[in-house]
């Protein structure tokens, strides 16, 4: 586990989970202004398995890969324009999702109490993602001349995603319980 320096194993795990986030983000179901992707699933699995420091590094690498133009964001898009666009807030909120999930799932094991804490962390992280992403969406759309009210933004950017994100959190916890011992 990472304490001070990052060793070869940590570097490989960070790169591997950045790649997991890239692959998950590309899997997209376009349903409107904000598509359904598996990117939040990738971030949840990353945070649950790698914890705070390695999880943050993986998320940052994923975002940087997309920012420099690699097609790792939803719909195989990349570039700084995606981060500055309507859905950019969801992407950079991942940097806040990871520490929250890592905090709540520090000792994730097959116990009801530990799983419940991990699920709570995932749900709170999703709420943070919704908040930052929706505010960013509203600001960008307003700058483009489309003033979208809070209720319209919530119906576009939050409500359709709640069931999918809850399901992603459950599956991410199941996957993490199985894979975390291998990644220590």
DSSP 19-69: HHHHHHHH-EE--SSS-EESHHHHHHHHHHHHHHHHHHHHHHHHHHHHHTT
Average pLDDT score over residue span 111-136: 96
Average pLDDT score over residue span 75-82: 94
Question: Which has the closest alpha carbon to 48: 142, 175, 154?
Answer: 175
pLDDT of residue 92: 94
pLDDT digits over 3-22, tens only?
A: 567 799 999 999 999 999 99
pLDDT digits over 144-173, tens only?
A: 888 889 999 999 999 999 999 999 999 999
* Domain 8-179, classified CATH 1.20.120.1760, yes or no: no
pLDDT of residue 3: 59
pTM of the model: 0.93
- Each domain of the chain, given as residue ranges in start order, spans 8-179
């Amino acid at each position: 586990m990472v304490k001070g320096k990052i060793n070869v194993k940590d570097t490989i795990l960070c790169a591997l989970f950045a790649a997991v986030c890239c692959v998950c983000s590309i899997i997209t179901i376009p349903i409107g202004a904000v598509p359904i992707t598996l990117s939040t699933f990738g971030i949840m699995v990353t945070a649950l398995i790698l914890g705070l420091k390695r999880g943050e590094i993986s998320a940052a690498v994923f975002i940087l890969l997309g920012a420099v133009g690699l097609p790792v964001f939803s719909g195989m898009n990349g570039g700084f324009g995606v981060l500055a666009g309507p859905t950019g807030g969801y992407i950079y909120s991942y940097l806040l999702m990871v520490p929250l999930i890592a905090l709540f799932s520090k000792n994730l094991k097959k116990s009801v109490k530990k799983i419940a804490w991990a699920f709570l962390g995932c749900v709170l992280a999703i709420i943070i993602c919704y908040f930052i992403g929706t505010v960013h969406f509203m600001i960008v759309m307003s700058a483009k001349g489309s003033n979208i009210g809070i209720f319209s933004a919530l119906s576009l950017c939050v409500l359709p995603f709640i069931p999918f994100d809850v399901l992603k959190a459950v599956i991410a916890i199941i996957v993490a319980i199985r894979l975390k011992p291998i990644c220590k």
